[in-house]
Amino acid sequence: MEISKLNIDESAKINAQSWLDGAYDEATKQAIRDMAENNPNELNESFYRHLEFGTGGLRGIMGVGTNRMNKYTVAMATQGLANYVKKVNKSSSQQDFELRAAVSHDSRNHSREFAEITASVLAANGYKVYLFDGMRPTPELSFAVRHFKCHTGVMVTASHNPKEYNGYKAYWSDGCQLTAPHDEAVIEEVLKIKSVADVKMTGGEKNITIIGEDVDKVYLQRVEQNSLNPELIKKHHDVKIVYTPLHGTGITLIPRMLKQLGFTNVNIVEAQAIPDGNFPTTPSPNPEEKAAMSMAVDLAKKIDADIVFASDPDADRVGVAVKRPDGEWMLLNGNQTMSVLFYYIVKQWQEKKMLTGNEFMVKTIVTSELPAEIATRAGIKIYDVLTGFKFIGSKILELEGIETFIAGGEESYGYMIGDFVRDKDAVAACSMIAEIAAWARENGKTFFDVLVDIYKEYGFYKEGLVSVVRKGKSGAEEIQQMMRDYRSNPPAEIDGEKVICLKDYQVLESKDLVSGKVTKINLPKSNVLQFFTDKGNKITVRPSGTEPKIKFYFSVKGELCCKDCFDKTNTALDGKIESIKKSMNLV
């Protein structure tokens, strides 16, 4: 079947034919012919566009085609990245100057292949490449970039996406994912690579250095230094921990780190301990989801564990489950885990008189205000940044040498402790969560009790999310009109509560609606609005950048008088969120 005669998009015909005519391997060309003959719709999906290199890198379904993750799209993206990094650094006057890059990957299908191709392209372009000898967590790649003073780094991963996906996170020299102006500039360079003929694929093999245990040791030593109570861990070394890596990279370092810290009762979900890109025991390797955590919770019930945690495939995010007083297990959301982490770290820094008044913590604007309340009451500065962990890393870089970073996090299960890594770090987070479990036992409490203590002291914060889908061109226009309406006519009240503050991240202004005072917001522009009420509630509105939807984040606050009132208060706050949704015509 001739490509030109197929009833598919013209762009798909052009792209597919260019691969048939180009320097692509025979297996790839045969796959294109097979699709043309047997599945034109799949051919159309695979070639109608080029897989977008976004501000964080690549992510897509694996397969043959310009719109798929494969060795050629990975190679072309890497060539664009290599060109940009070289362009930025070419002004160096050092005669012995060499460009350096670090490369790692997760447990997904084809991840090793894609990592080796990435390393080969960078090496062929003259880079000294540090390639891990096998899969490693994303935070270790971030660490390696800074450890080897690299100019860039690449982590091959699709995070917690389904098994059909793979991806590619690009890092800058600070160990942080690309931020402005580099993110957009790299995209421009990638778009200039039109075919595999534009890619240097071979000839730099001597430039690749395989790394592994040497970096593991240094990284784990640095994570160990985060510990605030090593003696307490020794005392309660047998705290019962259940951990699952969800078939991912966490198995390489998290059990080892827990052992290094002194924990002796770590129970691993063996069925999920084997690295497997097909993720056979869970419909989705996402620790946010109940199904992904179910095997770990079942094991916890069986052995009467103290704490459960799971890392996603690239081990940058953590899901946590805790035992309630009635013996049932409860999954914590990202805001709750982050609040407990902040609370423990802040309390320990206070008790050990480590605070000097020059420390800071960071959260994203859609995260609960509870972590901010914990930091502020302790006299620690708290900075809000846009959604995305790269903005936390960017804030650390901005204040490096000026203020001392303690910890950061976001509602989507990502946490960072210390600044030696500039991305979400499940290895460090799991280590600290285990330490908190030991600390709770020392004080005759459970992890759940610690959460209750926080709610009693600072208020019971509860979060919710609604995504309103509006498809097609008309849907996109409707979403934009909704944002314009909220800006031109912001609500004076929401569910009977007075709106006292409006933050508009498009114009970067925060307006006190009581006094009329306007202050500037020192962040990059983003199409986000936030409304704060006189009862301490927060509503955030932002269109999705990747899907035809507009998202509404709700954070409400109540009072918790005692542990026995937890369920009643929790239910009341759920009702409050539902009431706000109705008042905003979202149900």
Q: What is the pLDDT of residue 91?
A: 62
pLDDT band at 180 (very low <50, low <70, confident <90, very high): confident
Same domain membership, residue 386 and residue 250:
yes
Average pLDDT, the chain: 95
Higher pLDDT, 575 or 2: 575
Could you list the residue range(s) of the whole structural domain that residue 467 is in? 460-583
Residues 469 and 570 in one domain: yes
pLDDT band at 56 (very low <50, low <70, confident <90, very high): confident
Whether 522 and 440 share a structural domain = no
Considering 211, 236, 267, which residue would you say is the last residue of a domain?
A: 211
Q: Is the pLDDT of residue 531 over 70?
A: yes
pLDDT of residue 476: 83
Q: Are 66 and 19 in contact (CB under 8 A)?
A: yes
Residue 367 lies in a domain: yes
The reply to whether 27 falls in a domain is: no
Same domain, 464 and 454: no
- What pLDDT is stored for residue 94 in this prediction? 53
> Is 39 inside a domain boundary?
no
What are the tens digits of pLDDT across the range 248-282?
Answer: 999 999 999 999 999 999 999 999 999 999 999 99
Higher pLDDT, 509 or 5: 509
Catalytic sites, residue numbers: 159
Q: What is the pLDDT of residues 330-356, one digit of tens each?
A: 999 999 999 999 999 999 999 999 999
Residue 472 — very low, low, confident or very high, per pLDDT cuts 50/70/90? confident
pLDDT in tens, 279-331: 999 989 999 999 999 999 999 999 999 999 999 999 999 999 999 999 999 99
- Block residue for tokens 């290199």: 53
Residue 192, pLDDT above cutoff 60: yes
Residues 163 and 269 in one domain: no
**DSSP H or E stretch at residue 337:** helix 334-351
Residues 302 and 399 in one domain: yes
Q: What is the DSSP letter of 342?
A: H
Query: What pLDDT band is residue 53 in, cutting at 50, 70 and 90?
Result: confident
Taking alpha carbons only, the member of 296, 245, 294 closest to residue 426 is 245
Residue 316 confidence (pLDDT)? 97
Shared domain for 234 and 199, answered yes or no, is: no
Give the residue among 337, 320, 316, 336 at the shortest CA–CA distance from 388: 316
- Structure pTM? 0.95
Percent of the chain with pLDDT over 70: 98
- Distance, CA of 179 to CA of 431 (rounded, Å): 28
The verdict on residue 45 lying in a domain is no
Q: Are residues 178 and 301 in the same domain?
A: no
Domain end position, chosen among 408, 441, 458: 458
Give a yes or no: residue 170 inside a domain. Answer: yes
- Cα 470 from Cα 246, distance rounded (Å): 33
pLDDT band at 545 (very low <50, low <70, confident <90, very high): low
- Confidence at residue 544, expressed as pLDDT on a 0 to 100 scale: 79
Q: Are residues 263 and 332 in the same domain?
A: yes
**Residue recorded with tokens 């810290």:** 261
Please report, for the domain that includes residue 548, its CATH number: 3.30.310
Question: Does residue 44 form part of some domain?
Answer: no
Mean pLDDT to the nearest integer, 201-220: 97
357-376 confidence digits (pLDDT tens): 999 999 999 999 999 999 99
d(CA 189, CA 183): 10
Q: How distant, in Å, are the alpha carbons of 118, 231, 531, 579 from that of 115?
A: 5, 40, 44, 49
Tokens coding 203: 């000839």
Whether 151 and 38 have beta carbons less than 8 Å apart is answered as: no
**Residue 12 domain-assigned?**
no
Question: How much is the pLDDT for 325?
Answer: 95
**pLDDT recorded at residue 425:** 98
Which of 263, 251, 418, 424 is closest to 337 using CA atoms? 424
Q: How many domains does the chain have?
A: 3
Q: Final residue of a domain: which of 168, 190, 211?
A: 211
* pLDDT higher than threshold 70 for residue 1: no
Q: Are 288 and 412 in contact (CB under 8 A)?
A: yes
- Give one DSSP letter per residue of 360-412, joined into a string: EEEEETTS-SHHHHHHHHTT-EEEEE-SSHHHHHHHHHHHTTTSEEEEEEETT
| Cα pseudo-dihedral 368, 345, 403, 102, rounded to 10 | -90
**Secondary element (H or E) of residue 295:** helix 290-303
Confidence tier at 587 by pLDDT (50, 70, 90): confident
Is the predicted pLDDT of residue 473 greater than 60, yes or no?
yes
- Quote the CA–CA distance of 566 and 446 in Å, as a whole number: 15
Domain shared by 578 and 522, yes or no: yes
- Between the alpha carbon of residue 375 and those of residues 305, 306, 368, 372, 468, the distances in Å are 30, 27, 13, 5, 33
**Average of pLDDT values for 541-556?**
87
Is 121 contained in some domain?
A: yes
Question: What CATH code is carried by the domain that includes residue 126?
Answer: 3.40.120.10
Residue 268: which region, alpha, beta or left (left: phi > 0; alpha: psi -120 to 50)? beta
Structure tokens at 103: 């490369």
* pLDDT tens, residue by residue, 486-510: 999 999 999 999 999 999 999 999 9
Read off the pLDDT of residues 94-105 as tens digits, 9 standing for 90 and up: 545 799 999 999
Report how far residue 541's alpha carbon sits from residue 532's, in angstroms, rounded to the nearest whole number. Answer: 12
Contacts of 486 (CB under 8 A, 6+ apart): 529, 541
User: What local confidence, expressed as pLDDT, does residue 4 receive?
Assistant: 87
- The CA distance from 194 to 189, in Å, is 10
Residues 159 and 228 in one domain: no
In this structure, the answer to whether residues 249 and 332 fall within a common structural domain is yes
